[in-house]
């Protein structure tokens, strides 16, 4: 198998504008622009040495592009989730097929599942070192967190439950920099004190970063002041426009799953 870092992505559905909304007012979504932005997102990874693997499209699943929500990777454990939104449960089986195909090709993964009555969405899972923070949200319940804990604790991880009432997912509110500092937009973070090291960012769109390498992060182009803040900390910041996905409470983390 390749030694390059690799992500799984899924192209946006033409029905993207019908996706679920919880905390935002619905706005018109330009499907053509969304595809252009998705292509640019993929290109940002390719330009930094990542392999981008596309899984099958899901035209009947408006939120299918947000692949992070249906599988959580911890080491070689691929944990298929149990989405809290009924409309998203159809996304899981196509992800299961993609994972089985990878395993057949020699990818050393073990596949686990979160099952009802547990609910868990990957956007609520933030891994920082050996700690796995899990948002207790409208999409992720206590039973889902308990099942995740039973899978990841034997892998040397400690699960910390985070109260979440002001944002859709935990990673809508916070993500982490390469050095483990958690960043977030304070008005939508219930309790910043949960995190040992917390840095407030000036824009809601600046809460989400994807770590490309130990000195480089990927950030929404809609957060220029956050980009300036992170560059002042010595990071290289790559920006990409994701406005059409942000209209649906999406962000740069939602659009891919890293295989570890």
21 is in an annotated binding site: yes
* Active-site annotation holds for 112: no
Q: How far apart are CA 153 and CA 238, in angstroms?
A: 34
24 is in an annotated binding site: no
Q: How far apart are CA 148 and CA 159, in angstroms?
A: 8
What are the residues whose beta carbons fall under 8 Å from the beta carbon of 44, sequence distance 6 or more?
A: 212, 218, 238, 240
The gap from C-alpha 132 to its chain's centroid, in whole angstroms, comes to 13
Assess contact for 32 and 14: CB atoms under 8 A.
Answer: no
Active-site residue (options: 112, 222, 251, 254): 254
* Active-site annotation holds for 48: no
Name residue 222's beta-bridge partners: none
Q: How far apart are CA 89 and CA 60, in angstroms?
A: 12
Active-site residue (options: 112, 169, 222, 251): 169
The gap from C-alpha 106 to its chain's centroid, in whole angstroms, comes to 25
86 is in an annotated binding site: no
139 is in an annotated binding site: yes
Q: How far apart are CA 165 and CA 179, in angstroms?
A: 27
68 is in an annotated binding site: yes
258 is in an annotated binding site: no
Assess contact for 245 and 37: CB atoms under 8 A.
Answer: yes
260 is in an annotated binding site: no
Cα angle at 147 between 145 and 152, to 5 degrees?
A: 90
The pair of three-digit structure tokens given for residue 11, joined into one six-digit string: 């192209």
Q: How far apart are CA 41 and CA 64, in angstroms?
A: 16
Binding-site residues: 21, 63, 68-69, 88, 139, 248
Residue ranges for the known binding site for substrate are: 21, 63, 68-69, 88, 139, 248
Residues marked as catalytic: 169, 254
């Amino acid at each position: 198998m390749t030694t390059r870092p690799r992500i799984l992505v899924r192209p946006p559905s033409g029905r993207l504008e019908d996706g679920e909304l919880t905390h935002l007012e619905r706005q018109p979504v330009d499907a053509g622009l969304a595809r252009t932005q998705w292509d640019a997102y993929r290109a940002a990874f390719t330009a930094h040495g990542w392999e981008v693997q596309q899984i099958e499209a899901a035209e009947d699943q408006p939120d299918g592009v947000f692949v992070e929500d249906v599988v959580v990777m911890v080491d070689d454990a691929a944990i298929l989730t149990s989405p809290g939104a009924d409309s998203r449960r159809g996304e899981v089986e196509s992800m299961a097929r993609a994972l089985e195909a990878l395993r057949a090709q020699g990818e050393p993964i073990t596949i686990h599942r979160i099952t009802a009555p547990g609910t868990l969405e990957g956007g609520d899972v933030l891994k920082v070192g050996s700690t796995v923070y899990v948002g207790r949200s409208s999409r992720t319940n206590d039973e889902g967190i308990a099942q995740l804990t039973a899978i990841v604790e034997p892998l040397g991880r400690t699960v910390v439950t985070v109260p979440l009432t002001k944002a859709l997912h935990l990673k809508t509110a916070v993500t982490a920099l390469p050095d483990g500092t958690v960043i977030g937009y304070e008005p939508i973070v219930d309790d910043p004190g949960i995190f040992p090291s917390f840095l407030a960012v000036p824009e809601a769109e600046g809460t989400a970063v994807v770590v490309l390498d130990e000195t480089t992060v990927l950030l929404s182009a809609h957060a220029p002041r956050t980009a300036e803040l992170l560059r002042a900390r010595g990071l290289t910041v790559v920006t990409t426009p994701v406005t059409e996905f942000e209209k649906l409470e999406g962000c740069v983390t939602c659009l891919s799953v890293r295989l570890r």
